[in-house]
Amino acid sequence: MRALIRHRGVRKLAVLAVLAAVLVPLAHAKWASGSWPSALTVDLTDPLTDVNDWIIDNRDSHPLFVYFFGHISNAIVLSVRGVYLVLLALGWVGVTAAATLVAWRVAGAKTALTSAVSFALCGLLGMWVPTMQTLALMVVAVALSIAIGGLLGLVGGLSERAFRVLRPVLDTMQVLPAFAYLLPVVLVFGIGVPGAVLATVIYAAPPMARLTALGLRGADAEVLEAVDSLGAGRWQRLVTARLPLARKELLLGVNQTIMMALSMAVIASMIGGGGLGDRVYQALSSVDVGAALAAGIPIVLLAVVLDRTTANAGARSGGTPVAPRWLRGLDGWVVAAALVAGQLADSLTWPKSWTVEIAKPVNDAVDWMTDHLYSGVPAIGGTADWAGHFTSWVLDPLRDGLQGLPWWAALLIVAALAWLIGTWGTALTAVLALAAIGVLGVWDESMNTLSQVLAAVAVTLVIGFATGIAAARSARVERLLRPVLDVFQTMPQFVYLIPVVALFGVGRAPAAAAAIVYALPAVIRITTQGLRQVDQAAIEAARSLGATRGQQLRQVQLPLAKPSLLLAVNQGVVLVLAVVIIGSLVGGGGLGYEVLLGLAQGDLATGLVAGAAIVCLGLMLDRVTQPTGRRARKGA
Amino acid sequence: MNTNDPAQVPGQQSAAPAQVPGKQSAKQPGQAAEATSPHVSTPPASAASAATSVSPVFSVRELWKVFGPRADRIPGSPEAHLPAAELRERTGCTAAVRGVSFDVHQGEVFVVMGLSGSGKSTLVRCLTRLIEPTSGSIGMDGEDVLAMDRTRLRDLRRHRAAMVFQHFGLLPHRSVLDNIAYGLEIQGVRKAQRRARAAEMVAKVGLSGMEHRRPGQLSGGQQQRVGLARALAVDPEVLLFDEPFSALDPLIRRDMQEEVVRLHRDEGRTMVFITHDLSEALRLGSRIALMRDGEIVQLGTPEDIVGAPADDYVRDFVRDVPREQVLTVRRAMRQARDGEAGQGPALAPGATVAEAIEAVARSGGPARVMDAGRCLGVVDHACLLDVVAGLDRAPQPSPDERTDADGSAGRRAGARESAKEDGGADGRANEAPDECADKPAPGGQQPGSDEAVTA
């Protein structure tokens, strides 16, 4: 009993209970209500609509737009168009050859082959032009992200004070779903390429900044001291020592930035980015799985090529050069240029006769699936049945329960969870974020989204932990899983929606399914790594005492891997939320739907409020599950 | 004066600065060395021989380095000499270096030795202001290091002092050759030129054939050779070593130590060498400063440290040293008695006891200690056995006597280096007591010995 009282968790709960005993009767007496009391909401719709109207009215006249945003917007449009034209001018042979040569030069022959095959496939699927559009947008967005992120990282890496300010901001930005950034950008820049590029930059720059700062700060102190002892000036120190020492982190930052930029560039097609994402978006909204797949496959291929090339370039840093000798010098580039020039006369875009139409056969297959697998399969039911059961037995009760839960109880639960796992600071942030959702007046929609998140996270964790434990215990399982996880982790969130629509139709269940599939790889990875890193001596000691494998797992491995497991939960929640929000595209409803509605109807006020609520929900979920240590997003 | 006794320490410390101004104003060669605190002696002889006009390479006075909030209030305050734990508790500060004074002379290997946490690494970093000292003064060739502006300091680091680090501090992304050339690159030397110079250094430290490897592909010993070559490449006036070999395996360490000995013999470069390894200190050091809790407990030649430990701490430290390898016959000898001066094998005064044992065992009788044809004294079985057994140790000397001991020790160190010291040898022969044991010699204060030194 005494031990129980001494236990820190119990003490925290006791404090909360006392607080609740005082505050709850007060709150309940004043604002008794299942959902957030309307007396406590602030309606932002009108002021936001005013702002929106003002911006629309003044976009062409106000100096702020004419001389600042206007220039930014024009510069972005020009550069995207420029890159696009260059890509078209290179022709499909030129682009493929250039991509292959670059991959060969920085990452080796295998990656070069992947690259060549991937670009050819993009053409084969009849998606050459959209692929080039996406690539052009990506090139500009990535260049901007790396420049801005690198500069921020440089400041953060060299100045302690700047780092202390930057770090929490960057950390928070990394956990927010992509949808949250769309509306504010649209508000200022309108729908179109500039907005899409900037949304991508905002989403993709933080990892670069974060990793640059961490890399610069993590440099071996003695090496820097040695450099000082030889009398290096500040600039010499930065260029000859600090930056090269941070090379690994810088390349990892570039890799992550490119992957996140691709992910966002696809989503940003909703605000006028065009390209592959737009094709998927259009196809999904008419539930044309075949067309969606035809555009989705190039996205995945692009992701794989970009990831392999940049990741391998990072992994090989400092090692022996990988390219054949003729590629290393200028000669290689001369050869490449000659190759390109030779092909200029030929057809520049992929020849039409070489394309393969996959939309129709895929749709036929989906139709067949709809007929045969959706329901009525003996004994196991059908996919649509499962989705229906999941919706009616899990999602509905959960949503109704959350919406019916007294608002103060929700706050209390969040506070208790966050405090138990983290510190009072994270608990306070989480509670304030949740309260802000209520104040914004989107309590019910948020609870809807939250119910999907909770259900999906629960499933993700059950499957993820089980698989993770299996992979940690058996090298064979891990070997089998690794390539699968590698591919899954590189895919942008958007493409996960395509197969789930094919399997489960539209609705909340498919959205949750996509979220589960998206979050699983990270959870499995972190769990496996956590269990593997458990001190071998401790396990050996347990084994020497005669513990069974089950006992070893329960009594040694799991307790020691607790920080990793908490991190897995945190990552799972953040990743699930990101896809659940996007899931509104396939009928997920909730906050994401509000954003879409706002975009579709030009009612930015609604969308902005929903976007703010998404930020709050993301913040709340992250803080509730925040363990002490953190790691970069997505298995970094 | 026992440094273990905190009550006495302030007295010692207050005595030292009182001496400093006078000596510095005197600016006579050979005298500046005595400006250090009573424990600390520098060999006037070497100062005199090396620097008839040159000031010491490094001249450190009352140097303090305190880490923590408002560190500059600590030196000179009553708290300054509290034990580390108490100081931290009261002020939140840690004093890494406490009022240290010493000179490093041209061409010597000055070893700073102490256990980890004794402040030796901080001390060596203060010399080139890699760590900014809290108070005190550092002179390099008579120039005030602490007053240097950024450019001047950079110049000092680029050309005058180069450092070798414990964990090598190599740039992992550069080849061996480019690592060695790095110091020159920073100076702005052109590529071809610095590569040529680096290639010379590669050969000098025995890394030929490995120029194009990366540090990650080398063993620890090879990496430290690269570190050494990088420091040598800039042709510095002083080499600073911060525990350079403690991360290496014992055999490799031995190799590297011999490399340093060879380098010193060939080039005569001044070296400041930090180590926690007593045998390394004894092997390499012309003089050793033994540090404890940020203070120098004793400064002297290896023979002084082993033969006349300043306090129990030092005595504990040197307990396991094979004394016969370090102590010389000068310490072991007694006055020659009837006719002994005329026969028996001859030994140089700098010969170790181990060598004397061999000579005595071969001849069966006492051996003479001869210097320039004069017999300084003799050693026989009994004398040598006493040294080996440690029975020559003097009873705990009083502070005054110890000062003398250190003075004479310093003179002997000088004697080891310069052969010309007739008067001193004379005086010494006269002093040599009947007993074998060399008590803290009172002769240091005698006019005769001083003449010997300046002669």
Inter-chain CB proximity A226 and B165 less than 8 Å = yes
Q: Kindly report the nearest CA distance between residue A500 and chain B, in angstroms.
A: 47
A137 in Cβ contact with A196 (< 8 Å)? yes
Q: Chain B residue with minimal CA distance to A239?
A: B186
Give all strands of the β-sheet with B135-140 in edge-to-edge order: B94-104, B58-67, B135-140, B143-144
Q: Does B224 touch chain A (CB under 8 A)?
A: no
Stretch A614-633: mean pLDDT: 73
Residue B183 forms contact with A (CB below 8 Å): yes
Structure tokens at B321: 């040293």
Task: Give the pLDDT band (50/70/90) at residue A182.
Answer: confident
The label of the residue with tokens 């570039």 reads: A254
Does A236 sit within 8 Å of B186, measured CB to CB?
yes
As a whole number of angstroms, the distance between CA B171 and CA A373 comes to 61
Residue A14's contacts (CB-CB under 8 Å, 6 or more residues apart) are none
Question: Closest Cα partner for B185 from A232, A47, A38?
Answer: A232
Which one has a higher pLDDT value, A504 or B164? B164
Residues in A touching B187 (Cβ below 8 Å): 231
Q: How many domains does chain B have?
A: 2
CB contact under 8 A, B157 and A230: yes
Q: What angle do CA B274, B149, B146 make, to 5 degrees?
A: 45
Cβ distance of A231 and B155 shorter than 8 Å? yes
Residue A409: C-alpha distances to residues A16, A25, A429, A438, B436 (Å):
12, 11, 17, 13, 92
CB contact under 8 Å between B173 and A222, yes or no, is no
Q: pLDDT-based confidence at A349, cuts 50/70/90? A: low
Residue B390 falls in which region: left (phi positive, over 0), alpha (psi -120 to 50) or beta: left
Of the candidate ranges A24-33, A339-348, A481-490, the one whose mean pLDDT is the lowest: A339-348
A488-501: average pLDDT = 85
The pLDDT, as a whole number, for residue B41 is: 41
Least confident interval from A216-225, A470-479, A592-601, B25-34: B25-34
Q: What is the pLDDT of residue B82?
A: 81
Predicted confidence band of residue A292 (pLDDT cuts 50, 70, 90):
confident
A108 Cβ contact partners less than 8 Å away, ≥ 6 residues apart:
A312, A316, A322, A323
Choosing from B243, B269, B300, the residue where a domain stops is B300
Q: What is the pLDDT of residue B158?
A: 92
Closest Cα in chain B to A247? B173
pLDDT given for residue A316 in this prediction = 62
Q: Does B419 touch chain A (CB under 8 A)?
A: no
Quickly state the pLDDT bin for A636 (edges 50, 70, 90).
very low
Classify residue B213 by its DSSP letter.
S
Say if residues A281 and A269 touch (Cβ distance below 8 Å).
yes
Q: Residue A326 — pLDDT band, cuts 50, 70, 90? A: low
Model confidence pLDDT, tens digit, residues A15-67:
777 777 777 777 776 666 666 777 677 777 788 888 888 887 877 777 777 77
Is the domain of B99 the same as that of B182?
A: yes
Give the type of residue at B170.
Answer: L
User: Residue B148 is encoded by which pair of tokens?
Assistant: 């240097």
Q: What is the pLDDT along chain B (455 residues), one digit of tens a residue?
A: 444 444 443 334 333 333 333 333 333 443 433 333 444 444 444 433 444 445 789 999 999 999 988 888 888 787 777 888 888 888 888 889 999 999 999 999 999 999 888 889 999 999 999 999 999 999 999 899 999 999 999 999 999 999 999 998 999 889 999 999 999 999 999 999 999 999 999 998 888 998 899 998 999 889 999 999 999 999 999 999 999 998 888 888 898 999 899 889 988 899 999 999 888 999 899 999 999 988 999 999 998 888 888 889 888 888 888 888 888 888 888 888 877 777 888 888 888 888 888 888 888 888 888 888 888 888 888 888 888 887 765 544 434 433 333 433 333 333 333 333 333 333 333 443 444 444 443 433 333 333 333 33
Q: Cα distance from A217 to chain B (closest Cα, Å)?
A: 16
Closest by Cβ to A230, choosing from B153, B182, B216: B182
Residues of B in contact with A245 (CB under 8 A): 171-173
Of A223, A229, A244, Cβ closest to residue B157: A229
In a domain, B377, yes or no: yes
What is the model's pLDDT at position B233?
A: 92
For B5-56, where are the alpha helices, taking DSSP H only?
A: 9-26, 44-50
The domain containing residue B428 runs over which residues?
A: 323-454
The residue whose two tokens read 């240029």 is A337
User: What is the spatial distance between Cα B319 and Cα A184, in angstroms, rounded to a whole number?
Assistant: 76
Q: For the ranges A185-194, A452-461, B155-164, which has the lowest average pLDDT?
A: A185-194
Residue B40, in any domain of the structure = yes
Stated length of chain A? 636
Question: With bands split at pLDDT 50, 70 and 90, how would you rate the model's confidence at A323?
Answer: low
- CATH code of A410-636, in short, is 1.10.3720.10
Identify the pLDDT of residue A5: 54
Could you read off the pLDDT of A198-211 as tens digits, one per residue?
Answer: 999 999 999 999 99
Domain membership of residue B38 (yes or no) is yes
- pLDDT at A615 exceeding the cut of 60: yes
Please give the sequence-ordered ranges of beta strands (E in DSSP) within A409-544, or none if there are none: none
Check whether residue B166 and residue B204 sit in a common domain: yes
The answer on B280 and B150 residing in a single domain is: yes
pLDDT of A379 reads 66
The DSSP letter of residue B440 is S
B169/B28 same-domain check: yes
Interchain proximity B171–A228, CB inside 8 Å? no
CA distance A103 to chain B (A): 22
Q: Hey, are the CB atoms on B172 and A318 less than 8 Å from each other?
A: yes
Residue of A nearest to B126 (CA): A229
Interface test with B, best of A223, A225, A228, A229 (most B CBs within 10 A): A229
Site from A230, A247, A317 to mutate, B interface, most B CB atoms within 10 angstroms: A230
pTM score: 0.77
Closest by Cα among B329, B332, B309 to B321: B309
Chain B residue with Cα closest to A243: B173
Q: At B446, which amino acid appears?
A: Q
Partners of A198 in the beta sheet?
none
Cβ <8 Å between A232 and B186: yes
Q: Which positions ≥6 away from B83 have C-beta within 8 Å?
A: B6, B293
B155 has a chain A CB within 8 A of its CB: yes
Assess whether B268 and B356 both reside in one domain.
no
Task: Enumerate residues 57 to 86 of chain B having a beta carbon within 8 A of any beta carbon in chain A.
Answer: none
Min Cα distance A230 → chain B (Å) is: 5
Please report whether residue B2 resides in a domain: no
CATH number of the domain at B262, please. Answer: 3.40.50.300
Cβ contacts of B163 on chain A, cutoff 8 Å: 226, 229
Alpha-carbon distances, residue B162 vs B124, B155, B156, B231, B265 (angstroms): 11, 11, 9, 5, 18
8 A C-beta contact, residue B415 and residue B455: no
C-beta atoms of A318 and B173 within 8 A: yes
Q: Quote the CA–CA distance of A533 and A310 in Å, as a whole number.
A: 27
> Between chains, do A230 and B230 touch, taking CB under 8 Å as contact?
yes
Cα-based distances in Å from B303 to A247, B410, B414: 50, 10, 12
- B285 and B379 part of one domain: no
Confidence of residue A629 (pLDDT cuts 50, 70, 90): very low
In a domain, B342, yes or no: yes
Domain regions of chain A by residue span:
410-636
Picking from A220, A230, A318, the nearest residue to B162 by CB comes out as: A230
Q: By CA distance, what is A232's nearest residue in B?
A: B186
Average pLDDT over residues A624-633: 57
DSSP state of B62: E
- Who wins on pLDDT, A273 or B306? B306
Q: H/E element holding B139?
A: strand B135-140
Instruction: Tell me the C-alpha distance between B119 and A305, whole Å.
Output: 54
- Between chains, do A231 and B187 touch, taking CB under 8 Å as contact? yes
Pick among B152, B173, B218, B224 to test the A interface (most A CBs inside 10 A):
B173
Residue of B nearest to A244 (CA): B173
B128 touching A, CB under 8 A? Answer: yes
Residue A236: list chain B partners with CB under 8 A: 186
* Two structure tokens written together for A211: 């990793």
pLDDT given for residue A625 in this prediction: 84
**What is the pLDDT, as a whole number, of residue B78?**
78
Q: What is the pLDDT of residue B290?
A: 93
Higher-pLDDT residue of B177 and A383 is B177
Give the number of beta-carbon pairs within 8 Å between A and B: 75
Whether B417 is in a domain gets the answer yes
**Are both B25 and B99 inside the same structural domain?**
yes
Tokens 């930029």, residue located: A261
Please report the DSSP string for A445-512 in residue order. HHHHHHHHHHHHHHHHHHHHHHHHHHHHH-HHHHHHHHHHHHHHHHS-GGGGHHHHHHHH-SSHHHHH
Distance of CA A45 to the CA centre of its chain: 29
Give the whole-angstrom CA distance, residue A424 versus residue B59: 55
Single out the residue of A510, A504, A499 nearest to residue A589, CA to CA.
A510
Mention every residue, 6+ apart, whose C-beta is less than 8 A from residue A262.
A134, A138, A299, A302, A303, A306, A492
A140-147 mean pLDDT: 95
CB within 8 Å: B166 and A223: no
Residues B163 and B14 in one domain: yes
User: Residue B16: inside a domain, yes or no?
Assistant: yes
With CA atoms as reference, the chain A residue closest to B173 would be: A318
pLDDT at A274: 81
**Are B239 and B108 contained in the same domain?**
yes
In a domain, B311, yes or no: no
Q: Quick one: pLDDT at residue B16? A: 38
What does the pLDDT read at residue A6? 59
